[in-house]
Amino acid sequence: MKMTGAQIFLHMLKLHEVRYIFGLPGETTLGCYKEWLKCPDIRHILTHDERSAAFMAEAYAKVSGKVGVSEAPSPGGGHPVPGVIESFTGSVPTVCFTSDVPYNNDKRNMLSGFDQNRLYSAITKESLLATKAKDLPFLIRRAFRVAVSGRPGAVHMRIPMDVYEEEAEVNDLYPDPCMARWPYQRPVADLREIEKAISMLASAKRPVIVCGQGALASDAGDEVIALAEEFDIPVGCTMTGKGTISELHPLSIRLIGARGGTSWSNRFLQTADLVFFIGSNTDSAGTDGWKLPSDTGGPKIISLNIDGIDAANNYPTDAVLVGDAKATIRYMTEKIKKSGIKGSAENSSEIAASMRELDKAAAAPCICPDMPVHPIRFVKELESLLPEKSFVVVEPSMASIFSAAFLVQKEQRRMFISNYTNGALGYSLPAAVGVATAHPESTVFAMGGDGSFHFNCGELETYSRLGLNIKMIVFCNNVFGWIKGETQHVYHSDFFATNFGKVDYAGVASAFGVKSYKIDDPDNIASILKEAINRKGPVLIEVPVPDETEIVPPVPRWSESAKKNGLPCFY
C-alpha cells in the first residue's frame, strides 16, 4: 500500500489507540496537519506552549492508563523539555514527537534546525529519528513499546518535514502488542527473594510499608492492604504514591517523607526495624534526604520495583524484588496465607493515636479567621466539598505541601496528581488539561502558586476554548515562597530574587473568559467553592495566603528554624 509519511504516522497512532495529542503548530509540521484534517479520530488539543503540551501528555498518561502523546515543531523543539524530564524521571510513559527541517539541513544552518536527538537522548529512554517514511511503522511501534516496557518513561521521536510528505510502499501497518497501555506486563519477582522478604516481614517488630508512585501506577492498593492486614503493618505513601490506599484505612499512616510527611507519620520510619519500599525510587523528597529511614545503620530494607536499578539504589537492601508491584504482592500474600505464617508487628497499635494528633493539629487552623487565608483552612474546606468524581493537581508550592499533608484522601485511587519527581514550576495549570481531557465527567482542581502561574497563564485560553471543568486555585503571596522559605530556614540569609509585584490574577482569568473569584474573607471560602463546583466549565479562585516565612509548612528541615524563631509550623 502506498501512503505518505503523514498518513502512515496518523494511521499508526490510531492503531495504538491514541485519541488525543497535545501540541502547537509550526511550519515543519504542516505536511502532517494537511492529512490530519481527514483524521477526526485523533483530536489535536491546541496549546500555547510546547512545555504545556508535554505536561498535559504526562498528566493524561497518569490518569488514563494510556501513553500520553505530545507534538512540537522544530522552532519549539526544545520547549517540551521540562515535561519530558518529569515523565522520564517519574516513570510515566509518554511519546514526544517533534518535527524538524529536512535531515542534515541543520548543518546548512536552515532556520530552526538543530540536533534534537542529541538533546533528547539525555532525558528519555530513547530518542528516535525517522529519515524515511517507510520506517515509520517500525519506529512508532518501537516508541510505544519502549515507553511502557520495564520502567516506563518518556520517548522522543524526531520526524523531518520532508518525511511527512514522502510517499512509500508499506506492508507492516500493525500495532505493537502493548497497544500503548500500561502497566504493560506484570512480572513476579524472583521466588527466592520473595521467600526472604516474607521471612523478614514476619519477624519484624516495627515494620513499615512505604508505597511510591510505582505502587499507585500498578494499581496495587488491594494487594498492599491484603499484605498489610496479614502482618498488621503500618502503611505510608510518598506524595507521588498518595492514593495507593485510602487514608482512612486503620493501617494508614498517610504521607511520609519531606514533601507532605509530618512528624506524626514520619516517627514510624524513625523507629522502624524494617521498611518495605514498594514502587519507590527512594528519592531525596520521599526519604527527607535519606534520613527517613537512615541510610547508615538504619532498619533492614526490602525493595520491590519494576526496575532492578532503583530497587537497591540508595540503601543497603536485604531483599531485592524486581517485578510488578500488584502481581508480586498478590503472590506473596497468597503464599503467606497458604503457609499460615504469622507476623510479629507491634507498632500498628500506635497508628490511631498518631492520626488523631495529626488531625488535632489542623483543628485550630480550620477556624482561623485571619487574612491572608490560613492554607490548612482552605485545604480542609476543599476536602469537605470535593465531588465524588474529582482530581486534585498540584505543583511545588504552599498549596501542594499543605494539601498533601492535610487533605485526607478517602478513596483508594489516583486522585492526587503531582510532579514531585522533578518538581518544575508551571505544572498544575497545564497538567489539569491532560486530566480533564481523560476524564471530562470529573471536576479537576488545579492548585498552584502565583509564581508558577506566570509560567503559562496563556493556557487559561485553552481552559476557556475547550470549556474544561477545571477549577484553578492560585495561592498568591507575591513571592517565590519555597525559595524564600529555604533561604530563611536553611541558609539563614537575606532574601535574593524572591519577591515580585502584585497581580490581579482573577482579572487575568476574566480577560481569558474564565469565571473568577477572589477570597477576601475566610468565611466566604465554602460558599465560593460551592459556587465554583456547581458551575460547569473553568473557574479561577484567587486565594491570598501567607508565605513560607510566616506559616511554615510540614518540611522536616524547616521545623527547627520555625521553633527557634517562634513561627507556626505544622510538622
pLDDT tens-place string over residues 383-417: 999 999 999 999 999 989 999 999 999 999 999 99
DSSP 470-518: EEEEEEE-SB-HHHHHHIIIII-----S-B-----HHHHHHHTT-EEEE
468: nearest Cα among 514, 508, 520, 526: 514
Identify the pLDDT of residue 111: 83
pLDDT, residue 105, reads 79
What confidence score (pLDDT) does residue 112 get?
Answer: 83
Average pLDDT, whole number, for the chain?
Answer: 96
Look at the chain and count its residues.
571
% of residues, the chain, pLDDT over 70: 100
184-210 mean pLDDT: 97
CATH number of 2-169: 3.40.50.970
Say which CATH superfamily domain 191-352 falls into.
TPP-binding domain (3.40.50.1220)
Nearest Cα to 21, choosing from 72, 80, 83, 84? 72
How confident is the model over 557-570, as a mean pLDDT? 94
pLDDT one-digit tens code per residue, 412-433: 999 999 999 999 999 999 999 9
The CA-CA-CA angle for residues 131, 117, 162, to 5°, reads: 30
Greater model confidence, 109 or 306: 306
Residue-level pLDDT at 485: 95
Question: Mean of the pLDDT values across residues 345-370?
Answer: 97
pTM as predicted: 0.97
Number of H helices, E strands in the chain: 24, 20
Q: Which fold has domain 364-564?
A: Rossmann fold (3.40.50)
Mean pLDDT of 189-196: 98
* Helices 375-385 and 525-534, axial angle in degrees (round to 10): 40
Whether the predicted pLDDT of 372 surpasses 90? yes
Bridge partners, residue 515, by sequence: 539
Among 189, 197, 241, which Cα is nearest to 219's? 241
**Coil, strand or helix at 430:** helix
pLDDT at 113 over 90: no
Helix (H) or strand (E) holding 73: none
pLDDT category at 479 given cuts 50, 70, 90 is: very high
pLDDT band at residue 109 using 50, 70 and 90 as cut-offs? confident
Residues of the chain with CATH 3.40.50.970: 2-169, 364-564
Q: Residue 179 above 90 pLDDT?
A: no
pLDDT at 110 over 90: no
State the span(s) of the chain assigned CATH 3.40.50.1220.
191-352
The SS3 of residue 553 is coil
Amino acid in the structure at residue 520? D
